Structures are given as structure tokens and as C-alpha cells.
Structure 1
Amino acid sequence: MYPNWILQRAYLTPTRQALVFHEQSWTFEQLKEQSLQRAHQLTTLGVQQGSRVAIMGPSTPYFVMMLYACMHLQCEIVLLNRRLTKEELAYQLADSEAVMVLVADEDQEKLPPHVQQYTFSTIANSAEMAVDIAQEWSIQHTISIMYTSGTTGFPKGVRQTVGNHQASATASVLNIGLQTEDAWLCAVPLFHISGLSIIVRSLLYGNAIYLYDQFDVETITQHIIDGDVTHMSVVAVTLERILHTLEQQNAQASPRFKVMLAGGGPVPVDYLQRAYQRKLAVVQTYGMTETASQTATLTSEDGLRKIGSAGKPLFFNQLRINEPNGHGEGEICIRGPHVTPGYIGRYADKSTTVNGWLHTGDIGYIDAEGYLFVLDRRADLIISGGENIYPAEIENVLLTHPAVQEAGVCGQEDERWGQVPIAFVVLKETITTEQLQVFCQQKLARYKVPKEIIMVDELPRNGANKLLRRQLKKE
């Protein structure tokens, strides 16, 4: 058993700054008291201890309070991506069997109809009911559930336990170190593992979070220049915006700023070299939803010597390459206490590991010094602005249109987003690309909608009639 993180952190460092949002700030004691109040209010509204609930909203203190309140009640928290369509959200809510949705007032209209829900304002104005708050948590208890797109086009609900999060946070701090004045700037969504892991680290490390609900590049860059923050997580597209702002101002990162973790896909070599010129320590990292954030991270001192590498596994983690070819390239497999114990819903019976190893579907190799190089993330995966997009999910939507006979999707390089999805379709009746675009917009999140739809007579396939997406990319 482990202590309730929120209660324990408030006991250890009650007056230390915990959260900064615009001009407001909260201590750990204040977060504890306000989250306990929300837990009592949720109990009044019928949220039972140990139930499975969903949360949706922007990255604000209200979201954090609601998250902590559900943690107090030991709920299994389904974190909903607020960028998804109503149809996509409906699938996740049905698959997860969440008993209700706790939703920010501004996001209420994004939910599908006939969903049991309470807005944040309704909860805040509710009466309080006494409830016994658990002082200890089991290491096997599922704290969070996040959906990650599957290669079949059906998203999988990934369990993340107390043990998973704790192992991830501990391995990270053993890698980057910890000082009292450390502060994380969080401009990544809290419904992503990159954002939630910052929340967990704050509770376990006792460091402050500067939280942003929008990516305000000017203000964020100024924090880096002034040394208000020491750490930040980015994807390539946000890193480039920060670098551009630093260059425009002919400024450098403060000596107090320690490290910027870059995930969500490879970082261009040019970005790393530009960061070096601005005294900005950028380290590439490799992780996934199934591993509660980082598995491997490149140290800053190796940043230019091992350009393109995701580094070595963090202390408790192991990596190996399954069935390597003559060049040592094969599927990346992961083992460690941060690996999810399983899925829920449609994939509840699917084992996450084989003989203890998580098979990622990513292709890479480990060099002679033990550094991991990721060559291709899940073979056909498209990474656009840090968001994972699976071609099969878009293809499945296109194939539901009566005019489409066949569909194939691949990623095209894009200067701003890294990659964008491009669709190839074989028609069985006449329709315009504009009409198909509108159809996709109704069923897919905006970042998943193909940026271009190309009409073709046939799609490339192999002898087993399997679609060759790599060939699409060449075309």
C-alpha cells in the first residue's frame, strides 16, 4: 500500500507553491482542501468510491481539482480528448462504461447526446456529503484510463495504475535529478499522458506547475528566458515555435532552465542545433500511453553526439529488439514496472505483453553503446503536431461512405506539423473531394481529417491483398 499522494504531499510541504495559472497560484495544502471539497460534492451527486468516471475539459485548475477529487474517491478516471468528435467520444464512453462524465461548462456541447453528465459549475455549487477518504492506495489500483488508437481503427482503453505512474515518475527523477526550486511548465493537454505525468511528478516530487490551457508562445518563451521554470515537455512543432521566438528576440534560455523533454516523434536535427545555439537543453525521449510516459530518454550531454537517438532506458526499464534483421533493426519491446497491466472494454481480453515484454509495433535498433534509435513508429503511424493518427481509423470512416469502394491513408511530410494525413480513394460512384472532406469533418477530429484526398483507379496491394501503405507514400 502507498499513501494517498495528495494527502501525503500536503502533509510534507503544505505551504509550497504547487500550481500557477495566469495570475493565480495555489499551495499543496490549498489544492488538497479544494479537491477534498469537490470529492464531498461528487459524493452528493452520486459518484461512488471506486466507480469509473470520465473527465473532459481544458487544462485549467478546475480540471486539476476534479482530477484530484476523483483520485481521493479512488475512481478509475477516463480522460477524454476534447478534440474528438461526438462520434469518437460516444465510442469511448460506451467502451469504457463510464457511469458519468464530469465536463467543463464550455465543453458540454461537445458531448454526444443522452450522456449522464455534470458540469464543473454544477459540481462546485452542490452540497457536500461526508465520505471516508482513503489514506492509502493499492499499487494495482487503476488511476487513469487513456484511449490510444489501434491499428484496427478501434481505440484501446489503456489502464495506468498507481504502480505504473509511480515507477515512471521515479525513473524520470533518477534520470534528470530534483531540486526544491524546480518547476515544470505544462502546455501539453492534461488528457494526454505527457500532461498527466507532469501532474503525477508534481505530487511525488513536490515541485510547482506553471499550467497553460493554450500554447502562448510569447509568455512561455519569456518564462524560459527569465528562469521561472526549469523543465518543459514539447513536441517538435511547439519546440520550433519557441526556437523561432528566441531567435526573433536574439535571446537565450536562462541558466536556471534545465531541460526540455521532446517526445511525440523524432526531432529534426536542425532544431537540436538551433536549440544548442540558444543554450536550450533539449533531450529526445521515447514513450507511449501503455508505458505511462517515458521509457527511454537521451541525456542532454549526448544530445548532439547521438543526434536522432531516444537515448537509453530509464533506470527500472528494459529494451530489446525483437527478431532483428541483418542490420539489427526490428520491433522495439519494453519491459518494466511502468508497463500497463491491461486494456478495458473491447480489448479487455487482449494481453499487453508476451512473456513479460510489451511489443510496441515500433521499428528501431540499439547501437553498440546501448542507445535506442526509433526508425518508424508503428510502421504506418502518422504523427502530426505530437498527435498520433492511425491510417486505419481514417480509412474506416471513408469506407462508410456509399461512394467509396477502397481507401488508403498515409502520412505526408509537412513543414509545420511534421506530418499530415493524405487519403487515396477508389470510387464506386461519382463524388467530389470536397464532399468527402466534409464527410470526414463530421466523423473525425480536425487533425485526423485528410489534408488531401486523391482519386485513383486502384490501390497498391501485395499477394495477400494487403494494402501497401508504404507504396502510397512513394506515390
Structure 2
Amino acid sequence: MALLINHCPVRWHAIYHSHWTALQYDQQSITYQQLDQLLSALQRQLLTQINLTTPPSMVRLACIASNGIELLLMQLLCVRVGWLFCPLNPRFTATELSQRLAVLNTPYCWIENEQDADSLPTSSPQLQIDFELLLSNLHEQASSSIAVTTNISTSAITLTPLLIEPEQACNIIFTSGSSGFPKAIVHNYRNHFFSALGSQRLIPLASQDHNLLSLPLFHIGGYATVLRTVIAGACIHLTTYPLTVALLQQHRITHLSLVSTQLIRLLADPLFNAKQSAIKHVLLGGSAFSEEHLTALAARGFHYHLSYGSTEMASQIATSDNSSQLQVLPYREIKTHRGEIYITGETRFIGYFRDNAIHKIAAEEWVASGDLGTLKQHKLSIIGRKDRQFISGGENIQPEEIERVCLQYGRVKQAYICPTKDQQYGQRIALFVLFSDSTQFDLDCQQLKHYLGQKLISFKQPDHYLAWPLKLANNQALKVPKQVFLDSLSKQGLT
């Protein structure tokens, strides 16, 4: 029986697939029936603290926390009851958090680490949630396997379907803010449901699959991972341990999403290969990936997918299938105008949150992505960000084009282009580069310069070769923090 869009997905599986494993948190396993119980218990706790006269669609739960079972429960509960899940990066500075909290303007804030609350200049009362009490009930059930079996079978019979309103808003996720203050993007469950269905076309998820949550829930990629998995009735894996080959093997992970830094680290381990793992699909996103690493991934037998997506489109828009050719996924629509990509479809967000209200946009409206690209017969090619393009001596420079050529050079692990001021040309090109061996930077730069001289026209060749900032050496963010590079240029007198 297929899951219907107007049914709570957790309750659905709790009724029809109660014994299936929904969540694996290190050594703790939770079935869909148990997950349903946890959500009901969490709802009871929160209802004692939330003004019940407030319409559900205006109850905004600001959550400042890293990935964990607590945050995941908050996400799924908001889908169930129609509240707005508003996750925020706990690594933000107090100023960054305060700016976003000011936009959300909510009296309901849950902070994972209570000691961090004092640094936030907000008078909002904090939600008090006893997660230990919630989880202790599961531990008590697990102490007797007979009791667990009895409870599950009895409860599954008495559970009734739980209807939800798929058109009602269920989350607010902020964009990265790479080109100005981040926007507060609002989705409804319908957006995520069709996002999951479209993703299934190239990356099928089934009940026996295990999907590792390796991306943060405050990013649309992490949020979508959870709902894709739950809608499919598969198992979400949460872990407090570093991402290693041993962890992937131990938990028999079948699906995982990686950014470039994570992939590079895994490829450094010779045991990272398809024959010695259960991995069926590797989704790659967030930044450019070098040809060397993609070739190595394929040579080790992995089925990989490059992905182009956005917060506005509930994660994936176009995805490749063991190649670099991006295919527009079902339920998404794309067109280009003057080189810029415009997006709409079933997965497109419903509006922006500002001035204490959801400002909806028309269902048929196309939204400018800010990305440049070409589209031919549902095949999408990405040129780069419109706001990163700059002019040097009258010529358009697209940084991503140069970065892609750099990544084709075997020893380059990461590359990032910035414009620098130039008296003659207005702006010229600075290249930040990370080589696989940091002990011979000057020699590597000379060889890379020679390589780029053969691959790029002269006005696209970098003038300055700069070492990758140390603070980004182990960066696992989905997007490169542009300000770090600008600060480095400023220190070197190049701005």
C-alpha cells in the first residue's frame, strides 16, 4: 500500500510496517512504531508550553542544535502537527543567531546547549524538553524483548491513520546568504513529498536501505534526507562519530550524501570501495568535484550522482547518474532567460517569511535562481553563480569555469577564484588552491600555472596563486565561506 500525501508518514509506517527500523542512533535502534510513540510524547510535552490559541501555521519552533535524535524529532513533529520547524546553525556567532531570531520573531526557542543561551540577546522564553524522559521509555521497553513485541503488536492494531494538511507550511530554512542577508524560505509538506518522489527516479530508497544523515538539518540537504528516508520507509542513521569507512561498513550504510572534503577523506582509505561496503548510491553536492576524485569513485565500483539543488526547490533539482550529465528530476521545471536559470514546479517553496508573516508567491511564478546555465532536452549544464561573475579588461570572468579546469589537474584538491583590484584591467584573478601535498606549494603552483596556460585563454589565467586558508583545511560545509577568502586577500593587500 503506497503512502498518501495527506497522511503523516511516521504514523503510516507505524501502522503498516511497525517493526521496520526507522532510526539508528549509534547503538540505539528505533522502529517506526516506537518513533510514532516518541513523537506523541514530545507533542504532549510541548503542548503544555505553547499557546493553543495560536494557529498551528504560526507556531515557529526555533531550534539551535546540531544533528541529533532530539532535532530530528522536532522536525518530524512539525510535519505532523503543522508547526514551523526553524533550525539554526549552532556554530553561528551570537550576532548571526540574533539576526535570524529577529526575523523569526518567535517566543518558542529550543537551545541544545543551555550554556549558549546566555550569549543570545533575546528575551524569548526557552522551550523545556525532557528528551531523557522520552528516550528512557524506549530503554525500559527494550529491557524485555517479549514486552516490546507485545506492545508493538497491540499498539499497531489500535493506531489509526493521522491526516495532515500537505499545503500547510512546515518549515523555515534560511539560505546561505552568500550574496547578502539570508532569506527565510518556507516550504510545505507537499514540496518535500514531491521532492522525495522525484529523487526516487535516480536514487531509489527501499525499506531495507540505510541512509546516513551526514548533512546538517539546518541545511535543506539534511532536511530533505530525513523526509526522503521516512517517506520511503527506510532507516535514517544518526551518529556522533566521525565519518569513516569503518563506520559505513559497521552500519551497512546503503545511501550517503557527501561534500567534496568528505569524499576526499574517504578516498584516502583504500578500504573505501563498493565490494567491501553495502553502499548503493553516493550523492555529491555543495561544490565542484575534481575529475580525479570522480574517476577514483567510479573505479572503486560506486554508483555516484552529482547534484544541483537549492533551498528554494526543497533540495535536488537536477542530478546525474554515474556521470557528469545533470538530468532535471520529475516534478521540477527549469527554463533559462539571458543565461540565468529560472525554477518552478511541485517542489518550489511557497514563500518567504518576513515581517511576522508568510509572504506567498503565486504557484505558477518562476523564481530566478541566481545561477547561470544552459538547458537542452532536460539536460542541464551549470556555468556558475551570476553574483560571482566579474569583468577584467572588458571580458566576463566566470570563476567556476576556471575552478573546474583547476580541478582537472591531478594534484589539486580544491580551488576557489576571487577578483582582485587591478589598476590596468579593473579586476584580475586570484586563485586559492589546495594541493594533495602541501610540502611543495611553489613547485606545484609553477606546474599548475603551466597547465592552465595550455587550457585557458590568457585573460582567464590567474595572476595570483595563494595557499588555501588554514581554517578551511578540514572544512565540511556545503558551501565555501566566501568571507574567509576575502579576508585573506585583504591581509595580503590584494583588495
TM-score after normalising by structure 1: 0.72
Question: What is the alpha-carbon distance in structure 2 between the residues aligned to residue 456 and residue 185 of structure 1?
Answer: 40
Shift of the alpha carbon at 1:270?
Answer: 1.1
Q: Does 1:22 align with 2:37?
A: no
Aligned residue in 1 for 2:348: 339
Determine if the alignment matches structure 1 residue 43 to structure 2 residue 65: no
In structure 2, distance between residues paired with 1:70 and 1:214: 27
Aligned 8 A contact 2:320 2:327 in 1:
yes
CA distance in structure 2 between the partners assigned to 1:100 and 1:201 by the alignment: 27
In structure 1, what is the Cα distance between the partners aligned to 2:63 and 2:428?
31
Q: Which residue of 2 aligns with 1:68?
A: 76
Matches of 2:198 and 2:215 in 1, distance apart? 21
| Partner residue, 1:270 | 292
Q: Does 1:163 align with 2:190?
A: yes
What does residue 230 of structure 1 align with?
Answer: 254
**Structure 1 unaligned blocks of 5 or more:** 127-132, 324-329, 392-407, 418-436, 438-444, 460-471
1:112 & 1:134 partners in 2: Cα distance? 41
Q: Distance in 2 between matches of 1:336 and 1:87?
A: 35
Measure the CA separation in 2 of the matches of 1:416 and 1:136: 53
Q: How do 1:364-383 and structure 2 match up within 5 A?
A: 364-367=373-376, 370-380=378-388
> Is the CA contact (8 Å cut-off) linking 2:168 and 2:188 kept in structure 1?
yes
Alpha carbons of structure 1 residues 331 and 181: separation in structure 2 relative to 1, 3 Å: same
* In 1, Cα distance between equivalents of 2:491 and 2:241: 40
Matched residue, 1:320: 335
CA distance in 2: counterparts of 1:314 and 1:119, whole angstroms: 39
Match of 1:430 in 2: none
Q: Counterpart in 2 of 1:463?
A: none
Question: Counterparts of 2:61 and 2:298 in 1: how far apart (Å)?
Answer: 44
> Greater CA radius of gyration, 1 or 2?
2
Q: Distance in 1 between the 2:27 and 2:131 partners?
A: 24
Cα separation, 2, equivalents of 1:409 and 1:65? 49
Q: Distance in 1 between matches of 2:345 and 2:255?
A: 25
Unaligned runs of 5+ in 2: 135-159, 390-398, 404-415, 419-426, 437-470, 472-478
Is the partner of 2:301 in helix, strand or coil? coil
The separation in 2 between residues aligned to 1:96 and 1:363, in whole angstroms, is 31
Is residue 2:17 matched to residue 1:9? no
Select the residue among 197, 204, 208 that pairs with 1:181: 208
Report the TM-score, using the length of structure 2 for normalisation: 0.69
Amino acid at match of 2:121: P
Q: Deviations over 1:339-380 (max 9, x none)?
A: 01111116978776796222101011124x542111113432
Q: Which amino acid aligns with 1:74?
A: G
Secondary structure, counterpart of 1:379 in structure 2: helix
* 1:143 and 2:186 aligned: no
Q: Quick one: structure 1 residues 202 and 410, their matched pair in 2 at CA, closer, same or farther if it must change by over 3 Å?
A: farther
Evaluate the alpha carbon distance shift between residue 19 and residue 203 of structure 1 in structure 2; reply closer, same or farther with a 3 A threshold.
same
Q: Name the CA shift for 1:59/1:250 in 2 (closer, same or farther; >3 Å).
A: closer
Amino acid at match of 2:169: T
Question: RMSD of aligned C-alpha atoms?
Answer: 3.6
AA paired with 1:319? I
Matches within 5 A, 1:69-88: 69-88=77-96
- For residues 170 and 409 of structure 1, what CA distance do their matches in structure 2 show? 45
Distance, in Å, in 2 between the alignment partners of 1:270 and 1:356 is 40
Checking the alignment, whether the CA contact within 8 Å between 1:332 and 1:364 is kept in structure 2 is yes
Indicate if the aligned counterparts of 1:183 and 1:229 stay in contact, CA closer than 8 A. yes
SS at match of 1:450: helix
* Residue 290 (structure 1) aligns with: 312
**C-alpha distance in structure 2 between counterparts of 1:199 and 1:149, whole Å:** 20
Alpha-carbon deviation of 1:137?
1.9
1:97 paired residue number:
105
Q: Are the aligned partners of 1:86 and 1:112 in contact in 2 as well (CA < 8 Å)?
A: yes
Distance 2:362 2:369 in 1: 10
Aligned 8 A contact 1:62 1:120 in 2: no
Letter in 1 for 2:196: A
1:34 aligns with 2:38: yes
CA–CA separation in structure 2 for the residues paired with 1:8 and 1:272:
38
d(CA) in 2 for partners of 1:169 and 1:80? 23
- Once residues 129 and 90 of structure 2 are traced to their aligned partners in structure 1, the CA distance between those partners, rounded to angstroms, is 18
Q: Percent identity?
A: 24
Q: Distance in 1 between matches of 2:109 and 2:281?
A: 36
In the TM superposition, what is the alpha-carbon distance from 1:210 to its structure 2 partner? 1.4
- 2:358, 2:109 → 1: CA distance? 25
Structure 2 distance, partners of 1:291, 1:4, is: 21
Distance verdict in 2 for CA 1:299–1:456, change over 3 Å: closer
The amino acid across from 1:235 in the alignment is V
Partner Cα distance (2:114, 2:244) in 1: 23
Q: Is the 8 A contact 1:58 1:213 kept in 2?
A: no
Change (3 A) 1:152 1:176: closer
